[in-house]
Amino acid sequence: MAATPNPAQNATRGTRRRFREYWARITEGQQMDQMWAQFKSEAKASYGLYSNDVDWDAIKREEKRWKRPLLAAWALFQALLMKLSPARRVLLLVAVILIMIDPGIQGRHGESSFQLGWIGVLILFLLLALELADRVTMKRDLEIAREIQQWLVPDHAPLVSGMDIAFATRPQNTVAGDYYDAFFRPAAAESAGTAPLVVVVADVAGKSVPAALLMATFQASLRALSATPATLGEIVIGLDRYTRAHSLEGRRFTTAFLAEINTGTREMRYVNAGHNDPILRRASGGIERLPIGGPPFGVPLFTDDEISYPAGRIELRRGDLLFIFTDGVVEAANESGREYGEARLLACLLAAAPETAAETLKRVMADVNQFVGQVRQHDDITCLVLRVDM
């Protein structure tokens, strides 16, 4: 007969169970190696944020080598300090001074004593709480912005007879400057009633909220122009004019790949505006790139002439695979700083067996994730896959 656990054993088990539940909630189920890799990645990104404000050349010019680490530490502290509001800068300085004046947190003979160092520690915790409150508020606003941004891109691809389309995006931050879309536009008079399919992938220079706002205006402009009888060339010119007018003197240019597909004949006309050349893998295994077009939208003009955007023309055939992507895919870097690269992407696409567009997309994203590991993503990643079935 099994012995009945005594109250002390039950209490110990209950304490262990509550601790495991609390630990699982804190770590969200991650293992120690995962959390350590994530911490290193975040620490590296934070160091980069502060080190960009440091004049490293001035530090290197210091003749006395032993002073260089001290100057570097002081410069990094100054960079951190200037990221705070004026009031918080003063609080941080006061906290550091108090801890330096009276660093001990215990009195004589180990007895606890409320010294100046304790006040400095409490001020640091207060600053941490204030910064966390700001971050939570900002994150909430960004989540709302992300929901709005998700309304601007399709949840699922349009149903196209004989074609299979899939797309995915992964922002570097909560919101992204990448844009993808696939939609039917009104049929032209000469097309015998066949509504052409518009496919687009674009990348606004920059990241986070500024790029996301410009992405929203780009989406609105494209949709408005596509609803008119304008040709693809006229749409491209209109997009360039609008983007150039809102590009902040070229600092916010946009690369884009736009294609218009006749779903009846499978003929595709496209314009590449400074974007990564999409990959067209033919059913035979051959690889074609699609470079025809012009510079990114929004590049400043030094003459009164419009920028010319010639259109390319190809025929999609049964078994072909079109892969459109932003530079975040090929520039994804691992811990050693090596980039994923187009060679690896091409190898991944060539190795893909006959499968759905969603399966190809999943294969590529998994390959990128495996290559990068736990390194923090430094750019938005967007892919669109179009496979011709018949």
The pLDDT value given to residue 302: 64
The pLDDT value given to residue 193: 64
The pLDDT value given to residue 112: 46
The pLDDT value given to residue 167: 92
Following CA atoms 212, 218, 224, 225 in sequence, which dihedral angle do they give, to the nearest 10 degrees? -170
The pLDDT value given to residue 48: 80
Partnered with residue 178 across adjacent β-strands are 203
Q: Which residue has the tokens 């899939």?
A: 166
For 103, half-sphere exposure in the C-beta direction (CA atoms, 13 angstrom radius) is: 1
Length of the chain in terms of residues written:
390
Q: Which residue has the tokens 């932003």?
A: 326
Q: In angstroms, rounded to a whole number, what is the distance separating the alpha carbons of residues 347 and 379?
A: 22
Amino acid identity, residue 116?
L
pTM: 0.72
Q: In angstroms, rounded to a whole number, what is the distance separating the alpha carbons of residues 190 and 115?
A: 85
Q: What is the DSSP letter of 30?
A: -
Amino acid identity, residue 375?
V
The tens-digit pLDDT sequence of the chain (390 residues) is 555 666 777 777 778 888 888 888 888 777 787 777 777 777 777 888 888 888 888 888 888 888 888 888 888 888 888 888 888 999 899 888 888 887 655 545 555 455 777 888 898 989 988 888 888 777 777 777 777 767 778 888 888 888 999 998 888 776 677 889 999 988 664 555 678 999 999 998 877 677 778 888 888 899 999 999 888 999 999 999 888 887 666 567 889 999 999 988 899 999 999 999 999 999 888 999 999 999 999 887 766 667 889 999 999 999 999 999 999 899 988 888 899 999 999 999 988 777 889 999 999 999 998 888 877 777 888 999 999 986
Amino acid identity, residue 95?
A
What is the tens place of the pLDDT at every residue in 29-61? 777 877 777 777 777 778 888 888 888 888 888
**What domains sit in the chain, N to C, each tagged with a CATH number?**
156-388 (3.60.40.10)
Work out whether strand 267-273 and strand 293-294 pair parallel, antiparallel, or are unpaired. Answer: parallel
Question: What H or E segment, with its residue span, contains residue 388?
Answer: strand 381-388
- Which residues are CB-neighbours of 182 under 8 A, at least 6 positions away? 154, 157, 158, 165, 167, 197, 198, 199, 200, 384
CA of residue 205 relative to chain centroid, distance? 12
328 neighbors 304 (Cβ within 8 angstroms): no
Q: In angstroms, rounded to a whole number, what is the distance separating the alpha carbons of residues 281 and 198?
A: 20
How crowded is residue 199: how many other Cβ atoms within 10 Å of its Cβ?
26
Q: What is the DSSP letter of 156?
A: S
Helix, strand, coil shares, percent, the chain, to 5: 45, 20, 35
- Give the C-alpha distances (Å, rounded to integers) separating 264 from 21, 114, 197, 350: 58, 81, 10, 27
295 neighbors 237 (Cβ within 8 angstroms): no
Q: Which residue has the tokens 């196209």?
A: 160
185 neighbors 227 (Cβ within 8 angstroms): yes
- Which residues are CB-neighbours of 123 under 8 A, at least 6 positions away? 91, 92, 94, 95, 98
Closest CA to 379 of 322, 325, 298: 325
